[in-house]
Structure 1
Amino acid sequence: MAEMMFRAAVHGPDDIRIEPVERPSVGPGDIVVKVAVCGICGSDLGYARAGGLPIGGDGPLSLGHEFSGVIEEAGAQVTALRKGQRVVVNPTTPANMIGSGGPGAFASHILVRNVMAEPSVYPIPDMLDFETAALAEPLAVALHGVNRSRAGAGSRVVVFGAGPIGLGVVAMLRLCGVADIIAVDRMDTRLARAQALGANATLNPDKCDLWAEIGQRHGAGTLYGMPVVDTDEFIEVSGAAPVIPQIIAHARFGAHLTVVAVHHAPVAMDLAMALGKEMEVTTAMAYPTEFGEVLEILATGRIDTTPLISHRFAFADFEQAFATAARAEESAKVLVTFG
């Protein structure tokens, strides 16, 4: 009789079920990881609202991709990894697509396929605990966004959105030597976390004249008779539709915009205005090369991840964990732990 485990899966819009499934077993080139910690991502919340993958898919969608754990089984062809090794996993490899069409890590065990074909499994350095290691995936997203930007020492930067990825962007900007960072969010609790991670100014657009305040800190002027701010780099991590049009309207000549947030609906862009300002717009998706680098950053203690984590729940309390993660006013990164 097959051994069973429980997983979290989406069956329809806002229909998440903790359900029994067979525990996975390895093929020759696979490993099975016993999950220790898995973080709740904004994409998990989005999949739940949408009832599954936005691009479609058959059957329930297993959730969870920001995880750490221990290799419990390794296939006969797996030579670079061993049973008992603590690891984190890049979930985006084509053979797996963990939490976005493949298996999900909100389960006691997860199958990781074809681990010898491409780098996907990273040993956790001895000095890192499972919780910190589980932050590698979202922080890799943040670092890739910073790498795709034009920000560097001396840059004046505004980060829109202080959710978990935006907070990671602030931390990575600071690590890269950027000292002038303004964080913008409508939640004061999130702005406090951004300040703790290195933002030297925080602004709540519901409580101030946002662009006047940015101009006061970064400098202001006019272009084509319209007011602009002297910000060098804007990084959009909020996903709010009005933000990009506002940035284009207020940016100086030659400013740069990096879009990290997922915008699920089309956003109107005044390309004539962007053209007249010779703005550059760059997008940043996932982490083609940053996963291992982030693990090294975490292992050497170069950033303090304490402000990133707001809650911890046991998997038995998954419904409460998920509901908490959906309340932006009180949560940052919510972690789910497994015994």
Structure 2
Amino acid sequence: MKAGIYNGIKQIEMKELPRPTAGDNDAVIRVVKAGICGTDVHAYLAGGDDVGIHAGSQFGHEFVGVISEIGKNVTGLRAGDRVTICPTTRRSESCGLNSTEIADMTGAFSEYVYVENARAGYNVFVLPDSLSFETGVLTEPLSVASHGVAIADLKGSEKAVVYGAGTIGLCAVAALQNKGIRDIIVSDISDSRLEVARRMGAVAFNSKDGGLIEFIKSQWGVHTGNSSEECINADVVIDCAGLPFIVNEFIDHAKTLSSLIIIAVHGKNVEISPYWVLAKELTLKGSRGYTPEDILTAIRTLDDPSCRLGEIITQVYPHSQLCRAFEQACDAGNSIKVVIDYGK
């Protein structure tokens, strides 16, 4: 098989490797489409060791495909099934790798992926016939956002602010909409990304010159807090940008009993005011990865005809042009989600 191999910063090669074979408890999946993740781009530009992508390894973890071989002991799955996987549980604990390494070195940039101890609904998920591979390839990033929305414990009538209109921020929009939430403001500094947010049904605001707090107030009115302070009338804020000011901007302007869900990876620590967290009874939660239930939620969301998350796919490249696809994915101003098509 042709396998995409990560060899270091801006070093990717296509290598011929033996096609994996399934043991009695395992599955082999032929990859049909794969997405380039932000961690893949990070490894390509800055090195992969800190995100579990090591030189000389197969990599990639966002994909959909078809089971080409299945072990005799595997139940609930069969050859020919259209599937995606949970990359953090595709191998057993006996392999000695941590979850980050297992996820990011799944091998989705190769023609075939091996799943040890394949279990339906746990590490392998059958896609409904009505869900195309073109849209289904977004299952993994949508699962990330679905997990953040799930732990926010929303009822469906809340108002939500999303920082960041990249892949995860726009996935958060879809996940919020799946919960029935329609009042969504998305903040970013890219007009092209914000236009996608608009097409998905959110209110978009370019915060390049600031002014987001006043814009939120103009849209949803002013809420008066416990100490008679003016607050934004947002019930949940979802951080998909990872910028240092976001945490304190939330604390300073949040209304009583609202929540901040941090999905983005922050590169710097920030000081916060515990007093205002106490006074406003705020909730700050971190959201890491996803569970099998989040993956099932993502699949159901994508299968809903009203879901417009497919708008985030900006470029599609054949597998033979993997290096070119990575260069495109690094151009954040002109791409959101870059997809590899193994049929081209």
Q: What TM-score, normalized by structure 1, do the two folds share?
A: 0.89
Q: Check the 8 A contact 2:60/2:108 in 1, yes or no.
A: yes
Relative to structure 1, the CA distance from residue 103 to residue 178 in structure 2 (aligned partners, 3 Å threshold; closer, same or farther) is closer
Alignment of 1:22-33 (within 5 A): 22-33=18-29
Structure 1 stretch 16-25 or stretch 311-320: which is displaced more?
16-25
1:245 aligns with 2:248: yes
Structure 1 match to 2:286? 283
Report how many residues are paired.
334
Distance in 1 between the 2:250 and 2:119 partners? 44
Q: How far 1:58 sits from its partner (Å)?
A: 5.9
- Where do 5+ consecutive residues of structure 1 fail to align? none
Change in 2 beyond 3 A, CA 1:101/1:322: closer
Q: Is the 8 A contact 2:64 2:84 kept in 1?
A: yes
Q: Is the 8 A contact 2:164 2:187 kept in 1?
A: yes
The 1-side partners of 2:171 and 2:295 are apart by 14
Could you tell me which residue of structure 2 aligns to residue 51 of structure 1? 47
Tell me, yes or no, if structure 1 residue 80 matches structure 2 residue 76: yes
With normalisation by structure 2, the TM-score equals: 0.88
Asked whether the 8 Å contact 2:198–2:204 carries over to 1, the reply is yes
Other-structure match for 1:104: 107
Residues 83-141 of structure 1 show CA distances to partners (whole Å, capped at 9, x for unaligned) of 22221111111626576354310011111111039721112212222121211111122
Aligned pair partner of 1:204 in 193, 203, 206: 206
- 1:124 aligned onto 2:127: yes
Given residue 254 of structure 2, which amino acid in structure 1 is its aligned partner? A
Please give the alpha-carbon distance, in whole angstroms, between the structure 1 residues aligned to 2:252 and 2:47. 36
Q: Does 1:175 align with 2:171?
A: no
RMSD: 2.4
Asked if 1:330 corresponds to 2:326, the answer is no
Counterpart Cα distance in 2 of 1:302 and 1:22: 42
Report the AA paired with residue 281 of structure 1.
L
Aligned partner of 2:187 in structure 1 is: 184
1:236 to 229, 239, 243: 239
Superposed, which structure 2 residues align to 1:268-307 within 5 Å?
A: 268-288=271-291, 289-307=293-311
Out of 215, 219, 241, the residue aligned to residue 217 of structure 1 is 219
Q: Percent identity?
A: 33
Q: How far is 1:150 from its partner?
A: 4.2
User: Is the 1:145–1:284 contact (alpha carbons within 8 Å) kept by the matching residues of 2?
Assistant: yes
Matched-pair contact (CA < 8 Å) for 2:39–2:51: no
Deviation (angstroms), 1:182: 0.6
Give the 3-state SS of the residue equivalent to 2:213 in structure 1: helix
Q: Which amino acid aligns with 1:64?
A: G
Residues 6 and 54 of structure 2 are in contact (CA less than 8 Å); yes or no, is this contact kept in structure 1?
no
Greater helix share, structure number: 2
**Partner Cα distance (1:57, 1:206) in 2:** 33
Residues 64 and 136, structure 2, Cα contact 8 Å, conserved in 1: yes
Shifted more, 210-219 versus 95-104: the winner is 95-104
Opposite residue 163 of structure 1, the aligned amino acid is: G
The amino acid across from 2:321 in the alignment is D
Bigger drift between 72-81 and 312-321 goes to 72-81
Q: What amino acid is the match of 2:215?
A: E
8 Å contact from structure 1 (residues 15, 51) kept in 2: no
1:114-173: per-residue Cα shift (whole Å, max 9, x none)? Answer: 103972111221222212121111112222211111444332211101111111111221
Structure 2: which 5+ residue stretches go unaligned?
93-98
Moved more, 53-62 or 185-194: 53-62
Provide the secondary structure at the position in 2 that maps to 1:22.
Answer: coil
Q: C-alpha displacement at 1:190, in angstroms?
A: 0.8
Q: Conserved in 2, the CA contact under 8 Å of 1:230 and 1:252?
A: yes
